[in-house]
């Protein structure tokens, strides 16, 4: 009798199994994610991503959410994007309508995300990531979680113009008058050329002069509305200086223009203004003669320039002249010391390097001083028999190294002085 009831219960169980809710472990077909989006866009436009979620699981989907995964977009790309919508709860509205937060089988919901590509965006690929989070199953509690991300690549197409700026001069010379002050006016002709196949818009020319005050005007009248492909525009930049002291000053002629999407581009060209006096001309000539290794003639010019500056009370330029004079002695003495070293006269070479070191110290030339010290070490090593002339061991230098030192020293010394002006 008991066995008969057991068989009946087993048969009833087979009929009741299909009527029970599906468990989280049962297999199901994934939901369908369809995305309608453009494959390419231009800057300064909106991208509309139309996302459709279809419940193709064969069972219910609960608490479904679709979103844009912004953090997965590289920051180098994200900086050119603006996001209007980033997340939708697909079935939350049903709860507000006293329904259930679920999608029935075959039900579909469409949501649209808007992303703006700014006008600064370069030509690149934007990876957008659409994410679906939901729970699948008949039960309201403990259903199987489902997570999926779909990448949508969108190409940014940018056709940028290219405007080239050329000047008819790289430098302007002004002669200072009384009190070593100059004030003058001058002009520079420029040419703008659109060397691309795309139109440049809002073309403008300006003058940047961070070191001195300038009154400026530009012809033709700026800005220009546009420059078509291969167009060329010529004009003149007029400048009037205030009172400026002798020296060299840098200014920059700057052309700005935009592409169709509003991004600004820059083309520039440097221009130097040199204000000279009789003393400054002497100083500049002394510099040139040192570079040409004509040290006696250089000192003649520099000595005259120093005396002129000293008489006029210009302490700074007086000091610079004295430094250049010391530098010339340093170079000259080092050459003699190198020749003595090459001939094996290490005592004379040692004396020469020692004297050169003193001159470089007076010139406040650290590279020259250090190289003279290396020459002194080489001579001491050679005199002690540690290093042969041409071996270049740790205790001394070869003649090739000494020859290279002279070349490097001249360049380094002049560079140091020019940077200190």
Is 134 in the same domain as 27?
A: yes
Q: What is the DSSP letter of 22?
A: P
**Which residue, of 134, 156, 178, is where some domain finishes?**
156
Q: What is the residue-wise DSSP string for 287-355?
A: HHHHHTT-HHHHHHHHHHHHHHHHHHT-HHHHHHHHHHHHHHHHHHHHHHHHHHHHTT-HHHHHHHHHH
Query: Could you tell me the pTM of the whole model?
Result: 0.50
Phi, psi for 71 (deg, rounded to 5): -65, -20
Residue 14 lies in a domain: no
Task: Look at the chain and report how many structural domains it folds into.
Answer: 3
Residue 17 lies in a domain: no
In this predicted model, what pLDDT tens digit does every residue of 353-399 receive, in sequence order?
A: 999 999 899 888 888 888 899 999 989 988 887 654 444 444 444 54
Is 240 in the same domain as 289?
A: no
- Neighbouring C-beta atoms of residue 191, cutoff 10 Å: 13
Is 184 in the same domain as 145?
A: no
* Domain enclosing residue 245, as ranges: 163-276
Q: What CATH number is associated with residue 67? A: 2.60.40.10
User: Which of 6-10, 92-96, 154-158, 370-374 shows the lowest mean pLDDT across its residues?
Assistant: 6-10
3-state helix, strand, coil in the chain (%, to 5): 35, 35, 30
Averaged pLDDT score across all residues of the chain: 82
In this predicted model, what pLDDT tens digit does every residue of 71-108 receive, in sequence order?
A: 999 999 999 999 999 999 998 777 666 677 889 999 99
- Neighbouring C-beta atoms of residue 132, cutoff 10 Å: 21
More confident: 265 or 241? 265
Is 289 in the same domain as 199?
A: no
Q: Which of 154, 155, 156 is nearest to 128 (CA)?
A: 154
Contact 396, 382 (CB under 8 A): yes
Q: According to the model, what pLDDT value does residue 203 have?
A: 96
Is 349 in the same domain as 231?
A: no
Which helix (H) or strand (E) segment holds residue 418: the answer is helix 399-419
Residue 123 lies in a domain: yes
Residue 405 lies in a domain: yes
Is 174 in the same domain as 254?
A: yes
In the structure, what pLDDT confidence band is assigned to residue 183 with cuts at 50, 70 and 90?
A: low
Q: What CATH number is associated with residue 232? A: 2.60.40.2310
In the structure, what pLDDT confidence band is assigned to residue 201 with cuts at 50, 70 and 90?
A: very high
Residue 5 lies in a domain: no
**Which residue, of 276, 301, 334, is where some domain finishes?**
276
Residue 171 lies in a domain: yes
Is 415 in the same domain as 363?
A: yes
Cα–Cα dist 209/271, whole Å: 10
Q: According to the model, what pLDDT value does residue 195 have?
A: 92
pLDDT at 287 over 70: yes
pLDDT at 21 over 70: no
Is 314 in the same domain as 258?
A: no
Residue 378 lies in a domain: yes
Residue 241 lies in a domain: yes
Q: According to the model, what pLDDT value does residue 177 have?
A: 61
Cα–Cα dist 81/120, whole Å: 10
Averaged over 54-71, what is the pLDDT? 93
Q: Which of 130, 118, 192 is nearest to 161 (CA)?
A: 192
Averaged over 255-281, what is the pLDDT? 86
Q: According to the model, what pLDDT value does residue 309 have?
A: 76
Is 283 in the same domain as 272?
A: no
Percent of the chain at pLDDT exceeding 70: 80
**Which residue, of 252, 276, 300, is where some domain finishes?**
276
Averaged over 112-141, what is the pLDDT? 91
Is 207 in the same domain as 271?
A: yes
Is 255 in the same domain as 301?
A: no
Residue with tokens 């579909």: 108
Is 298 in the same domain as 384?
A: yes
């Amino acid at each position: 009798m008991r066995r008969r009831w057991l068989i009946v219960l087993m048969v009833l169980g087979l009929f009741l199994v299909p009527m029970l809710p599906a468990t989280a472990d049962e297999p199901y077909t994934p939901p369908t994610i369809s995305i309608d989006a453009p494959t390419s866009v231009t800057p300064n436009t909106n991208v509309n991503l139309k996302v459709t979620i279809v419940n193709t699981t064969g069972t219910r989907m609960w608490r479904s959410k679709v979103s844009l995964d912004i953090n997965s977009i590289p920051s180098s790309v994200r900086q050119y994007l603006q996001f209007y919508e980033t997340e939708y709860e697909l079935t939350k509205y049903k709860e507000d309508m006293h329904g259930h937060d679920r999608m029935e089988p075959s039900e579909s919901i469409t949501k649209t995300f808007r992303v703006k590509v700014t006008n600064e965006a370069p030509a690149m690929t934007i990876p957008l990531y659409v994410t679906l989070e939901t729970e699948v199953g008949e039960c309201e509690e403990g259903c199987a979680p489902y997570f999926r991300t779909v990448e949508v690549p969108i190409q940014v197409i940018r056709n940028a113009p290219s405007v080239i700026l050329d000047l008819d001069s790289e430098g302007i010379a002004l002669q200072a008058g009384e009190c070593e002050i100059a004030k003058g006016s001058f002009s520079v002709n420029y040419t703008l050329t659109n060397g691309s196949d795309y139109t440049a818009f809002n073309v403008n020319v300006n003058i940047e002069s961070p070191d001195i005050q300038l009154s400026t005007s530009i012809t033709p009248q700026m800005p220009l509305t546009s420059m078509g492909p291969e167009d060329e525009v010529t004009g003149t930049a007029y400048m009037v200086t205030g009172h400026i002291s002798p020296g060299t000053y840098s200014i920059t002629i700057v052309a700005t223009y935009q592409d169709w999407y509003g991004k600004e581009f820059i083309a520039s060209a440097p221009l130097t203004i040199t204000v000279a006096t009789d003393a400054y001309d002497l100083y500049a000539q002394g510099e040139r003669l040192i570079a040409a290794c004509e040290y006696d003639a250089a000192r003649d010019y520099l000595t005259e320039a120093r005396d002129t500056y000293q008489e006029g009370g210009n302490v700074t330029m007086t000091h610079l002249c004295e430094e250049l004079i010391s530098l010339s002695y340093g170079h000259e003495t080092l050459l003699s010391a190198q020749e003595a070293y090459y001939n094996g006269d290490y005592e004379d070479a040692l004396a020469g390097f020692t004297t050169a070191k003193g001159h470089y110290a007076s010139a406040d030339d650290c590279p020259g001083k250090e190289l003279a010290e290396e020459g002194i070490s080489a001579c001491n090593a050679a005199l002690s028999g540690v290093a042969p002339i041409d071996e270049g061991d740790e205790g001394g230098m070869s003649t090739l190294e000494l020859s290279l030192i002279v070349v490097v020293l001249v360049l380094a010394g002049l560079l140091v002085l020019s940077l200190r002006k």
